[in-house]
Amino acid sequence: MLFNSLFYIVFLALVVAISWGLSRWRWGRTAFLLACSCLFYMAWSPKYVLLILGAAAWDWAMARVIEKMPDEKAGLRKVLMLGSVGVNLGLLCYYKYLGFFAENLVAVLHAAGMDVAIPVAKLALPVGISFFTFQSMAYVIDVYRREMPAEHNLLRFWLFATFFPQLVAGPISRAHILIPQLHRPPRLQSDDVGEALFRIATGLVKKVVVADWLALNLVDRVFNKPGIYSGAEILVGLYAYTLQIYCDFSGYTDIAIGSARLLGIKLPENFARPYRARTVAEFWRRWHITLSTWLRHYVFFPLGGSRGSMWRANRNTLITLVLIGLWHGANWTFVLYGLVHGLAIAWNRLQTRKQPKGWSHDELPWAQNLWRIALTFHFVVLARILFRAPSLSAAGDLTQSLLHNGLGLARIDKGTWLVLVLGYAAHWAPPNLADRLRLAFRSWPVPAQGAALVAVASLMGVVAETDAVPFIYFQF
């Protein structure tokens, strides 16, 4: 069930109406939202809904046992926590990485002169498995660390694990943010509806008008047949993909946040204009914020963070960024993608330590940061080759074409140029412009907001060239 489909809009309207009708019956509302979340996921993978519920029940039970166990039994508490985390990582590895590991093991054995075959059945990847496993693991670890109490109600915990707006592509909502909201009676403040509708409309425009247009009219063509395009056209295609993936993923997040807001739930933000970043480290503080925060909290800091020597700080950074890359997919392109980002952050750290103590980019005049923004942006653009290419050889072919195929731009149409210019102009515009637009929309009467949404729907109907296109991050 795609967010950018009429079916989802009808589904959301019914869920919102009925759930608010049940708002005074807390158990009934929880059960209803859980059932709707399961139906939402079953539209993708009916058989895997039992996988989610079973894994969540295991984590719920382990967390309750861990909470009751005294600190004197620290060793046993840790074993139980690792057992719970191990089940989640086991599911993730089995469905997402088993074939990758087997393929590379066979390659190593063949290089050593051993003719070995490891048959691995091709499994359908449960949609959103990287999201719901990370969310559930974080909960158990937080309970183990005594950072939050265990949830005693299994029904409520199942809703936390399956809440449909953020189930298949985030944002990754940690338990201390989402579970307390499920305990409280739902509240809808005066500006919540306007804010929610604005976010949903913004997300739909990003997805359909920008992301899908660029994908269909330039990006897919360039990456499928780079040899027939000039180097300049490939570079523009990379700019287009960089804007496409941002509008696709942040558009999903906007719709998720808006949908949850209509139900009285506030989800965490996941983007903060990432292409305005002045360093690669700042880029990861602005891009997929809930994932980078998750890995910083549960991987980078436990490894030692940036404390100690420069070597240790950079080692921890490289481990974390390689895991970010691998999180995205079982492919060496993603491993290398994470590695080059980790190396760039290590270089940023080295340059920062050469500055006087207390130095910050924030203290510089904005003009002096322009070259930093441009350099960081182009690093991100070129690294997208690894993110988008299906293999290292395909990434190499596209890079060769980029460097050697000339400078013509004849294959890029006016509509694509217009979408590119307007998309990047909106992204780099002063943030207060978007804030003023949002506040103005929220102040409009309901009929005016409805008319604006009809206008957005009409624009989508004019621009859309195919049926609803799945979001990119569904594959992760």
- What residue spans define the domains of the chain? 24-183, 192-463
Length of the chain: 476
pLDDT at 459 over 70: no
Mean pLDDT of 95-99: 84
Evaluate if residue 360 carries a pLDDT over 90: no
pLDDT single digits (tens) 388-406:
999 999 999 999 999 988 8
pLDDT tens by residue, 278-319: 999 999 999 999 999 999 999 999 998 888 788 888 999 999
Q: How far apart are CA 233 and CA 235, in angstroms?
A: 5
* 110 belongs to the catalytic site: no
pLDDT at 106: 78
pLDDT one-digit tens code per residue, 211-235: 999 998 999 999 999 989 999 999 9
Confidence band for 1, pLDDT divided at 50, 70 and 90 = low
Q: What is the pLDDT of residue 77?
A: 92
Catalytic residue, chosen from 176, 328, 404, 427, is 328
The C-alpha atoms of residue 464 and residue 476 are separated, in whole angstroms, by 24
8 Å CB contact between 96 and 130? yes
Asked if 53 contacts 162 with a C-beta cutoff of 8 angstroms, the reply is: yes
**Interval 4-11 mean pLDDT:** 81
Q: CA-CA distance, 345 to 347, in Å (whole number)?
A: 5
Query: What's the whole-model pTM score?
Result: 0.90
**Cβ burial, residue 365 (10 Å; 0-12/13-18/19+):** exposed
Model pLDDT for residues 244-291, shown as the tens digit of each residue: 999 999 999 999 999 999 999 999 999 999 999 999 999 999 999 999
One-letter amino acid at 433 equals: L
Tokens at 441, concatenated: 């929309």
Contact 449, 191 (CB under 8 A): no
How many CA atoms are closer than 13 Å to the CA of 359, on its beta-carbon side?
8
Residues 200 and 31: their CA atoms lie apart, in Å, by 25
Weakest-pLDDT range from 102-116, 183-197, 198-212, 426-440: 102-116
Q: What is the mean pLDDT of residues 36-54?
A: 88
